[in-house]
């Protein structure tokens, strides 16, 4: 018996244009599973899918529905690697782990593509590359050039872009960006459709997914973990917490290891064909190098989508969109005045070191948190790595570091801290763009 999901997704472009959700499973009064995964975003779904492919019995628990959080509300850009240069990662983590991190996370877009192809996920995916645009000469010299050179040494067919070339690829005024680089591994997709596709793939592999079912009172009972699911009870030999920016107090102290920040997006109505052809004509998505970055793309129906830091947590209004609309008009004058059809927000989890975190909280209890804004490829890959770890690999055999939880001091005042930091970063971005 299955339960047909009834979407409670916040209104957004992705909620309005996503493929149908699969049917999820009802909660039984009491049952046992080998591994319980709490959180059905990309990380949790990928963990469950890859564990099931290893023959492990997996149950996923989601308080709303798969993709409800950032996985169904992000910009849908497929970006290979982490935010750090490969050389820096290898220097920081050593030859074995550093190289494994670079290779595994760098292949994240390939993993996404292989899952889409294998399971026939209908998410309007394109793999035409990803552009990072330098908002000033310092960013070009200190960020773009080293990053491009280091990936090129590792065999990636990187293209460094001068001012004229990037203006043509983006379709923006020449004075806007001093240059950038094109990573051919990148792409874009419909993020909520991808999340639902991962859920459907996991179900096909035998995973039970309980949607609209918050997990309560996680505790140890003898040799197993136990939790309450509404009127039911679930026992598991192992538990993975994959709740990212929406981590609550299910496990004491874990919420304090990440800071949720809100990303805000707008989307126009489908653009006129002549305008559409002038914006990102090669089909890439793009992100700039600002600390408070902007990112933009066209969706599969020709809407211009732009995102940036949100002035509010949730339920944004058109008034809140005014600054981003001005940025959109400055970036794409040919689309200035195009009416906005959708606006929405979602939370991104930041960690102290801007790296994903894998923790062993207690024997048999794991956590994977902190995509730091690179959700599609990174979280899919983190989930695969987690499946190897939970499936029996040792910490020094996987491609991400296993660390102790590191809480933010004064976490209760995080909103004030984020506001102050945002104002400071905004000032630096403006100075460096001159």
Domains and CATH numbers, the chain: 3-74+192-258+354-408 (3.50.50.60), 125-186+260-350 (3.30.9.10)
pLDDT, average across residues 186-193: 98
Estimate to the nearest angstrom the gap between the alpha carbon of 433 and the chain centroid.
Answer: 27
Whether residue 5 is predicted with pLDDT greater than 90 in this model: the reply is no
pLDDT tier at 113 (50, 70, 90 boundaries)? Answer: very high
Overall average pLDDT of the 9-13 stretch = 92
- pLDDT score at 412: 55
Structure confidence at residue 317 (pLDDT): 83
- Name the band, by pLDDT with cuts 50, 70 and 90, for residue 424: very low
Does residue 414 surpass a pLDDT of 60? no
In sequence order, which residues have a C-beta less than 8 Å from that of residue 81 and are 6 or more positions away? 102, 105, 106, 108, 151
Does residue 68 have a pLDDT over 80?
yes
Pairing verdict, β 295-298 and 285-288: antiparallel
| pLDDT tens string 120-179 | 999 999 999 999 999 999 999 999 999 999 999 999 999 999 999 999 999 999 999 999
Q: Taking a C-beta distance cutoff of 8 angstroms, is the pair 342, 11 a contact?
A: yes
Which has more pLDDT, 19 or 416? 19
Please state the rounded mean pLDDT for residues 331-335: 98
| Residue 311: band (very low, low, confident or very high) from pLDDT cuts 50, 70, 90 | low
Give dist(CA 139, CA 142) in Å, integer. Answer: 5
Higher local confidence (pLDDT), 287 or 430: 287
Range with the poorest average pLDDT among 57-66, 189-198, 352-361, 400-409: 400-409
Half-sphere exposure of 311 (CA within 13 A, CB side): 11
pLDDT at position 231:
87
Q: Report helix angle 108-119 to 376-390, nearest 10.
A: 80
């Amino acid at each position: 018996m299955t339960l047909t999901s009834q979407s409670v997704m916040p209104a957004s472009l992705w909620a309005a244009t996503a493929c149908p959700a699969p049917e999820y499973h009802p909660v039984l009064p009491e049952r046992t599973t080998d591994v319980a995964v709490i959180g059905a975003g990309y990380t949790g779904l990928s963990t469950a899918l890859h564990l099931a492919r290893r023959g492990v019995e997996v149950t996923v628990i989601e308080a709303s529905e798969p993709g409800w959080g950032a996985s169904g509300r992000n910009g849908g850009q497929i970006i290979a690697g982490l935010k750090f240069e490969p050389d820096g990662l290898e220097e920081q983590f050593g030859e074995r782990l550093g190289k494994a991190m670079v290779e595994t996370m760098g292949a994240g877009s390939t993993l996404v593509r292989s899952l889409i192809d294998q399971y026939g996920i209908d998410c309007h995916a394109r793999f035409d590359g990803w552009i990072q645009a330098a908002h000033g000469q310092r960013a070009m010299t200190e960020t773009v050039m080293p990053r491009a050179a280091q990936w090129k040494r590792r065999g990636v067919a990187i293209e460094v872009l001068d001012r004229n070339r990037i203006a043509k690829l983006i379709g923006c005024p020449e004075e806007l960006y001093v240059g950038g680089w094109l990573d051919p591994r990148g792409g874009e997709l419909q993020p909520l459709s991808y999340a639902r596709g991962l859920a459907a793939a996991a179900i096909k592999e035998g995973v039970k997914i309980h949607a609209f079912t918050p997990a309560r009172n996680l505790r140890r009972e003898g040799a197993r973990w136990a939790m309450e699911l509404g009127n039911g009870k679930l026992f598991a030999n192992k538990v993975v917490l994959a709740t990212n920016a929406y981590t609550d107090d299910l496990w004491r102290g874990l919420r304090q290891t990440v800071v949720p920040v809100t990303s805000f997006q707008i989307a126009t109505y489908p653009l006129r064909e002549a305008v559409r052809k002038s914006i990102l004509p090669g089909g890439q998505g793009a992100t700039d190098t600002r600390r408070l970055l902007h990112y933009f793309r066209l969706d599969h129906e020709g809407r211009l989508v732009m995102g940036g830091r949100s002035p509010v947590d949730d339920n944004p209004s058109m008034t809140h969109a005014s600054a981003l609309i001005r940025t959109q008009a400055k970036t794409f004058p040919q689309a200035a005045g195009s009416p906005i059809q959708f606006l929405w927000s979602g939370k991104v989890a930041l960690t102290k070191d801007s790296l994903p975190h894998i923790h062993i909280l207690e024997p048999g209890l794991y956590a994977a948190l902190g995509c730091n804004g690179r959700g599609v490829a990174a979280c899919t890959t983190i989930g695969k790595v987690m499946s190897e770890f939970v499936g029996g690999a040792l910490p020094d055999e996987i491609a991400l570091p296993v660390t102790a939880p590191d809480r933010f001091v004064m976490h209760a005042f995080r909103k004030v801290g984020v506001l102050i930091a945002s104002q400071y970063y905004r000032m630096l971005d403006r100075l460096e763009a001159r």
